[in-house]
């Protein structure tokens, strides 16, 4: 929610006075639903809530034919303070992304080795396809991705992170296939087999 607040406050501050429709369109053009988890359907609700909190203010409405009224927003001094606080917090703090895959990976021994290795290699293939798509977008300048330059840098960051994960997937898949033990030496192979084999049996029932 803090990311949604920061981005909406930032877009309004940058484009004001601005319609809610244009805020939504701008965030959709940034693909913010993919890398910032901002769902397009939640943007109007967030605008209303930020207005109720005094961080934004409505400065006009516009009616075009039979279409719904469009409200125009500006940021308030309080909203600008909150935006700057959220912005600097994200710049100066390290917030590791929440990845459901990591939660699933914690149960690696619950999967047969062959399936786990195949899943890791499949994940690497999906990441390769995605990074190739982003490179093509950068090379062709699709959707103005190269302007302003910092938008291109964001995509390059995503590519760099993905390349690191691709290498990790390939390396771990090889380790899984090699039969390396998952658990510490203090856990006997009999205990490991009894615990995780039983768990796998439950999953396949």
**DSSP notation for 41-60:** GGHHHHHHHHHHTTSEEEEE
Q: Higher pLDDT residue, 13 or 36?
A: 13
Identify the CA nearest to 116 among candidates 101, 97, 99.
Answer: 101
When pLDDT is cut at 50, 70 and 90, the band that residue 105 belongs to is very high
Backbone torsions φ then ψ of 73, nearest 5 degrees: -120, 150
Residue recorded with tokens 């965030």: 27
Distance of CA 163 to the CA centre of its chain: 16
Considering the entire predicted model, what is its pTM? 0.68
- Looking at mean pLDDT, say which of 71-75, 92-96, 173-177, 190-194 comes out highest: 173-177
Identify the CA nearest to 4 among candidates 78, 63, 82, 120.
Answer: 82
Dist CA 166 CA 155 (whole Å) = 16
The answer as to CATH 3.40.50.1000 being correct for domain 3-92 is: no
pLDDT digits (tens, 9 = 90+) for 123-172: 999 999 989 988 887 888 765 666 678 877 888 898 999 999 999 999 99
pLDDT digits (tens, 9 = 90+) for 63-86: 665 666 778 889 999 999 999 999
Please, which contacts does 49-54 make with residues 24 or more away whose CB atoms are closer than 8 Å? Answer: 50/5, 50/8, 50/9, 50/79, 54/78, 54/79
Distance of CA 43 to the CA centre of its chain: 16
When pLDDT is cut at 50, 70 and 90, the band that residue 205 belongs to is very low
Q: At what angle do helices 43-52 and 20-29 cross, to 10 degrees?
A: 130
Mean pLDDT of the chain: 81
Backbone torsions φ then ψ of 107, nearest 5 degrees: -105, 30
């Amino acid at each position: 929610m803090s990311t949604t607040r920061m981005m909406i406050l930032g877009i309004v501050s940058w484009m004001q006075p601005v319609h809610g429709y244009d805020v939504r369109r701008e965030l959709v053009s940034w693909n913010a639903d993919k890398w910032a988890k901002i769902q397009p359907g939640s943007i109007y609700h967030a605008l209303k809530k930020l207005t109720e909190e005094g961080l934004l203010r409505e400065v006009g409405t516009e009616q075009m034919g039979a279409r719904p009224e469009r409200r125009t927003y500006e940021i308030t001094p309080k909203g600008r303070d909150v935006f700057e606080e959220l912005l600097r917090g994200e710049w100066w703090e390290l917030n590791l992304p929440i990845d459901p895959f990591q939660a699933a990976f914690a149960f690696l021994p619950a999967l047969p080795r062959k399936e786990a290795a195949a899943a890791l290699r499949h994940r690497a293939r999906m990441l390769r396809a995605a990074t190739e798509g982003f490179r093509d977008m950068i090379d062709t300048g699709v959707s103005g991705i190269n302007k302003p330059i910092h938008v291109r840098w964001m995509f390059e960051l995503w590519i760099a992170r993905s390349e690191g994960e691709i290498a990790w997937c390939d390396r771990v898949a090889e380790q899984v296939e090699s039969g390396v033990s998952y658990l510490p030496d203090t856990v006997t192979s009999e205990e490991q087999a009894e615990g995780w084999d039983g768990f796998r049996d439950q999953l396949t029932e």
